[in-house]
């Protein structure tokens, strides 16, 4: 499933059982162990492929107490990856396009959207009426800024109805059990697009189109998109154009228009991004070196923000920009990076640039990285990323 926005590929996901990501799913779990030293509890919440109970890590807030055998509702904040177990949260959030439901906060929070004062007052009154007799809360997202008030209220009502179904399932289920599956790729894409933008969902067969429509109706989306059925030969952008865009996003190098390029180097603990000047330094002979470096870094910022989302890169990211001597130029690049990432649905934090030109940032993980959807472990190098060129003395295993 591809999200094509602003004349380019913005997001790409594969939605199949073997590649499923449980982030956002709700489970009935049971505490199996509390580690006060770590400030965490281990919670059995699902079954592994072997049929054994799977445990996840639940960080405890200050003063929060949990006991072994306790039955509780948890949400997958970060799914299992490699040898790392899933990370859970007891403060579940049901995400929507215009509004989020907060299970551990009450009231209505309007700071996420920019609305006209009169519209905001009327909307606040309507939303307060929905949660007046409950302990849950509602929070507007930035995407609500361009949305009609009736669409926001409709979505909030759907989220509340969904939460009531989850709580009813919680009362009846035995642990561990899945109470609500994560949103599929189409619904996730829809929730990430700002209000006011026209959305067309194109499917290549009627069966798929009907399934998408039924799933969106069941999810009570605020605004239903237009759903069309077109054979792939009639797609715009063309299927071959989508394929080329995905292939480019799997390349570690990304070229910039002025001759520079970026190098993406994902690792187990962080992703490093190197900004290289390439042939950019040979252009505009009349410009100063400081001007050329600033321009290159500002150009790199827009591409980095786009590629982080497209490649689904999460966790710690370190960017090595081309060195700049001016602190004002460094601040300008960081400000531009924050602005370029403002449209990203993932939570992002960008720290100031160091004197060495390094910027540290974190991006919320939202599913498997794009590369993991296409590339598997290498048997030849045992996933080290290195191929042996010679055999060690006395070892005949290679």
CA distances from residue 26 to 40, 90, 183, 202, 361 in whole angstroms, order as listed: 19, 10, 11, 29, 28
pLDDT of res. 321: 96
Question: For residue 379, is pLDDT > 80?
Answer: no
pLDDT of res. 45: 94
- For 151-173, b where at least 16 C-beta lie within 10 A, e where not — what string? bbbbbbbbbbebbeebeebbeee
Rounded Cα gap, residues 328 and 297, in angstroms: 13
Rounded Cα gap, residues 2 and 202, in angstroms: 10
Rounded Cα gap, residues 308 and 342, in angstroms: 12
Regarding predicted confidence, which is higher, 16 or 152?
Answer: 152
pLDDT of res. 282: 58
Phi, psi of 19, deg, nearest 5 = -115, 15
Q: What percent of the chain has pLDDT over 90?
A: 60
pLDDT of res. 268: 81
Query: Picking from 42-56, 314-328, 346-360, which range would have the lowest pLDDT averaged per residue?
Result: 42-56
Rounded Cα gap, residues 345 and 23, in angstroms: 14
* Band of residue 284 on the pLDDT scale cut at 50, 70, 90: low
pLDDT of res. 397: 54
Q: What does pLDDT average to over the chain?
A: 89
Query: Picking from 53-62, 219-228, 329-338, which range would have the lowest pLDDT averaged per residue?
Result: 219-228
Helix axes 327-340, 289-310, angle to 10 degrees: 20
Regarding predicted confidence, which is higher, 16 or 164?
Answer: 164
pLDDT of res. 396: 54
Longest dimension (CA), the chain: 81
Rounded Cα gap, residues 216 and 218, in angstroms: 5
Question: For residue 382, is pLDDT > 60?
Answer: yes
* Band of residue 286 on the pLDDT scale cut at 50, 70, 90: low
Phi, psi of 74, deg, nearest 5 = -130, 155
Question: For residue 14, is pLDDT > 80?
Answer: yes
Closest of 200, 310, 302 to residue 245, by C-alpha:
310
* Band of residue 49 on the pLDDT scale cut at 50, 70, 90: low
10: CB partners within 8 A, 6+ apart: 3, 4, 306, 309, 310
Percentages helix, strand, coil for the chain, rounded to the nearest 5?
A: 30, 25, 45
Q: What is the mean pLDDT of residues 81-93?
A: 89
Kindly report the number of other CB atoms within 10 A of residue 53's CB atom.
Answer: 15
Q: What is the mean pLDDT of residues 284-288?
A: 66
In three-state secondary structure terms, 96 is coil
pLDDT of res. 196: 83
Question: For residue 394, is pLDDT > 60?
Answer: no
364: CB partners within 8 A, 6+ apart: 314, 346, 347, 348
Question: For residue 250, is pLDDT > 90?
Answer: yes
Q: What percent of the chain has pLDDT over 70?
A: 95
pLDDT of res. 20: 72
57: CB partners within 8 A, 6+ apart: 40, 41, 42, 43, 85, 86, 87, 88
pLDDT of res. 285: 57
Confirm if 42 and 35 have CB atoms less than 8 A apart: yes
Rounded Cα gap, residues 347 and 365, in angstroms: 9
Q: What is the side-by-side strand order in the sheet with 271-276? A: 253-255, 261-266, 271-276, 315-320, 358-363, 348-350
Q: What is the side-by-side strand order in the sheet with 99-102? A: 93-94, 99-102, 137-140, 107-109
Give residue-wise pLDDT tens across range 156-202. Answer: 999 999 999 999 999 999 878 999 998 888 888 888 888 888 899 99
pTM: 0.83
pLDDT of res. 362: 96
């Amino acid at each position: 499933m591809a999200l094509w926005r602003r004349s380019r590929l913005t997001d790409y996901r594969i939605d199949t059982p073997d590649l499923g990501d449980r982030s956002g799913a709700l489970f009935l779990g049971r505490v199996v162990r509390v580690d006060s030293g770590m400030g965490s509890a281990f919670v059995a919440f699902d079954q592994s492929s072997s049929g054994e109970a799977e445990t996840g890590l639940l960080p405890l807030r200050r003063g929060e107490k949990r006991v072994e055998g306790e039955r509780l509702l948890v949400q997958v904040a970060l799914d299992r990856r490699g040898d790392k177990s899933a990370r859970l949260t007891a403060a579940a959030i049901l995400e929507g396009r215009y509004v989020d439901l907060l299970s551990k906060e009450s009231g209505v929070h309007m700071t996420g959207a920019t609305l006209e004062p009169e519209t905001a007052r009327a909307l606040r009154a309507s939303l307060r009426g929905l949660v007046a007799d409950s302990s849950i809360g509602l929070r507007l997202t930035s995407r609500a800024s361009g949305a009609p008030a009736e669409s926001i209220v409709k979505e909030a009502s759907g989220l509340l109805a969904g939460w009531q179904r989850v709580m009813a399932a919680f009362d009846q289920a035995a642990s561990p059990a899945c109470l609500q599956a994560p949103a599929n790729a189409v619904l996730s894409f829809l929730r990430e697009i700002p209000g006011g933008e026209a959305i067309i969902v194109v499917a290549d067969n009627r069966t798929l189109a009907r399934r998408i429509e039924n799933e969106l109706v069941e999810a009570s989306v605020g605004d239903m998109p237009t759903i069309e059925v077109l054979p792939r030969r009639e797609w715009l952008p063309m299927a071959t154009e989508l394929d080329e865009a995905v292939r480019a996003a799997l390349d570690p190098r990304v070229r910039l228009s002025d001759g520079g390029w970026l190098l993406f180097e994902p690792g187990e603990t962080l992703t490093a991004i190197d900004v290289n000047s390439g042939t950019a330094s040979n252009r505009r002979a009349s410009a100063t070196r400081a001007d050329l470096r600033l321009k290159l870094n500002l150009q790199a910022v827009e591409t980095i923000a786009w590629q982080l989302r497209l490649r689904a890169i999460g966790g710690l990211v370190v960017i090595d920009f081309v060195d700049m001597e001016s602190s004002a130029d460094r601040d300008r690049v960081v400000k531009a990076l924050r602005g370029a990432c403002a449209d990203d649905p993932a939570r992002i934090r960008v720290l100031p640039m160091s004197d060495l030109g390094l910027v540290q940032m974190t991006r919320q993980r939202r599913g498997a990285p794009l590369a993991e959807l296409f590339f598997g472990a290498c048997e030849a190098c045992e996933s080290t990323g290195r191929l042996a060129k010679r055999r060690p003395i006395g070892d005949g295993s290679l």
